[in-house]
Amino acid sequence: MQSGDPALAPGDKIGFLDLCENIVRMIYSDETDFRIWCGEFARICLEMKIPLCLELGDTQAALQTFERAAKYLQLDSELTEPYVCVSPLVAGDRFEPLCDTADTRPLAQTAVEDYISRPCYDVLRDDIRFIEALRSIESIYKA
């Protein structure tokens, strides 16, 4: 980043997003507790991190991030019941899986139709890792 330039460079943005995820992982240290954030981190991967990786020309990082987003979408889809956190900083906090928008589509379907359909993903579409991760995402809502 240049002095006086308020915008972060793509690599710095990725680093900041990774830091945010790491902080949330520290707070929600139990893996089951962390699942309550998986939908948000899937969106961050799909909407921000993957396009940033591609802007940098790093298709391997983009594919790795896409695979992580697919995993996060799967974990998010499994949260259907109220849940009480057990991680020390949030022990006893109750999570209610609620839809906070008028969009009634499952998050995995939203991901495919609103994010993954974007042209910036075209460079990844023929890669077997992308194809397999996309299949796993689609299986969440097409089951």
Domain ranges within the chain, ordered by starting residue? 10-142
pLDDT at 2: 53
**Integer Cα distance of 75 and 38 in angstroms:** 7
pLDDT at 5: 63
CB neighbourhood size of 35 (10 A) = 19
pLDDT at 6: 74
pLDDT at 1: 47
**Integer Cα distance of 73 and 39 in angstroms:** 6
Q: b/e map of 117-126 (b: 16 or more CB within 10 Å)?
A: eeeebeebee
pLDDT along the chain (143 residues), means of 10: 72 97 96 93 97 98 98 92 93 82 86 95 98 97 83
**Integer Cα distance of 57 and 130 in angstroms:** 16
Q: What is the pTM of this model?
A: 0.90
pLDDT at 101: 67
User: To which residue do tokens 């939203």 refer?
Assistant: 110
Structure tokens at 8: 């972060």
pLDDT at 103: 79
